[in-house]
Amino acid sequence: MATLVIAEHDNKLLKDATAKTVTAASQLGTGVHVLVAGHNCGAVAEAAAKLAGVEKVIVADDALYLKPLAETMETLILSLAGKYDAILASATTNGKNILPRVAAKLDTPQISEIIKVVTPDTFERPIYAGNAIQTVQAGAGKKVISVRTTAFKPAEPTGSAAIEKVAAARDPGTSKFLGEELSKSERPELTSAKIVIAGGRGMQSAENFKLLEKIADKLRAAVGASRAAVDAGFVPNDYQVGQTGKVVAPDLYIAVGISGAIQHLAGMKDSKVIAAINKDEEAPIFQIADVGLVADLFLAIREMEEKLTELGT
């Protein structure tokens, strides 16, 4: 028996999230297979085949999977599930969308967002927005697990697995992809950026967020936001970091004008270094920040931008 990892990709590139999920899958102690469901996704399959620890890549290349929906992915994964004792996906919006359907159909409880494989049947996962860590043991039967990718290192591209083709599974025909609007940005993706600079309610306006974007461009950083900033309409929701948004763990997280509500901390407290700029010395963010700058944030970020320009950072 082996472990099946559902690949995350856009038909051209394999997402880093998959390399991290493969690392978690390898810790289950059985062989790892990766399922790439897409259309004209040969390059993705090849990238998956290179990940260390992967024994086999299964490719379902069909127009049906150009934009995989939960319903079509469910039938495909179930058609393969018999051969596996564990099925893993990254806890991205895509993995979260698909995986519980598979678990329900296999009549097995899902273990969501594991952050550690303690033993092949025991896992740690955050609950209450990360304010508590639950250690949970799976029962007999198949395991269905989503993986919080910030907690695992990506598998190295040093392998060479075989690639096997499978036919598309039945289309339930109950849902249809109509379109998507993806934010276009030259900046790195929020969840995989090495540096994230995030703004909160203290930024006061959408205009002011542009100041953060300038610094982000200098640092090759992604821009994030607290829920308060999103609720105030300063930035779109896909910027949101926190319990109800994205979970990030960059090398450096710079929180600007973010007070530090527990729901926000849930999304960034595993960052390697946390820096905060806030004029309120008592802001809770300073209790967890490695470096805190107590200052007027507008003066500070303007000065910071100049200094970074001078240094050509």
Report the alpha-carbon angle 206-208-210, nearest 5: 85
User: How far is it, in rounded angstroms, from Cα 168 to Cα 59?
Assistant: 9
The alpha carbon torsion through 20, 25, 31, 34 (nearest 10 deg) reads -60
Of positions 32, 34, 49, 74, contacts another protein by CB under 8 A:
74
Q: Which stretch binds another protein (CB under 8 A): 26-34, 50-58, 167-175, 206-214?
A: 167-175
User: Hey, what amino acid is at 104?
Assistant: A
Question: Is the Cα torsion angle 201, 207, 209, 212 positive or negative in sign?
Answer: negative
User: How many residues form the binding site for another protein (CB under 8 A)?
Assistant: 92
User: Per CB under 8 A, does 69 bind another protein?
Assistant: yes
Binding positions for another protein, 91-130, rule CB under 8 A: 92-94, 96-105, 107-113, 122, 126-130
Of positions 182, 207, 282, 312, contacts another protein by CB under 8 A:
182
Of positions 82, 158, 167, 178, contacts another protein by CB under 8 A:
178
Cβ closer to another protein: 161 or 277?
277
**Could you tell me the smallest distance in angstroms from the CB atom of residue 163 to another protein?**
26
Cβ closer to another protein: 73 or 155?
73
User: Per CB under 8 A, does 243 bind another protein?
Assistant: yes
The answer to whether 80 and 4 have CB atoms below 8 angstroms apart is yes
Cβ closer to another protein: 25 or 301?
301
**Could you tell me the smallest distance in angstroms from the CB atom of residue 215 to another protein?**
11
**Could you tell me the smallest distance in angstroms from the CB atom of residue 60 to another protein?**
19
User: Per CB under 8 A, does 309 bind another protein?
Assistant: no
**Helix/strand/coil for 292:** strand
User: Per CB under 8 A, does 252 bind another protein?
Assistant: yes
The answer to whether 155 and 7 have CB atoms below 8 angstroms apart is no
User: Per CB under 8 A, does 209 bind another protein?
Assistant: no
The CA–CA distances, whole Å, from 166 to 57, 62, 80 equal 10, 10, 9
Q: Cβ contacts of residue 56 below 8 Å, gap of 6+?
A: 2, 31, 33, 34, 161, 162, 163, 164
Cβ closer to another protein: 42 or 284?
284
Of positions 170, 172, 206, 220, contacts another protein by CB under 8 A:
172
User: Per CB under 8 A, does 44 bind another protein?
Assistant: no
User: Per CB under 8 A, does 136 bind another protein?
Assistant: yes
Place of tokens 């319903």: 71
Place of tokens 């999920």: 21
The answer to whether 245 and 268 have CB atoms below 8 angstroms apart is no
Binding positions for another protein, 261-290, rule CB under 8 A: 262-263, 269, 272-275, 277, 281, 286-290
- Give me the phi and psi of 66, to 5 degrees please: -55, -45
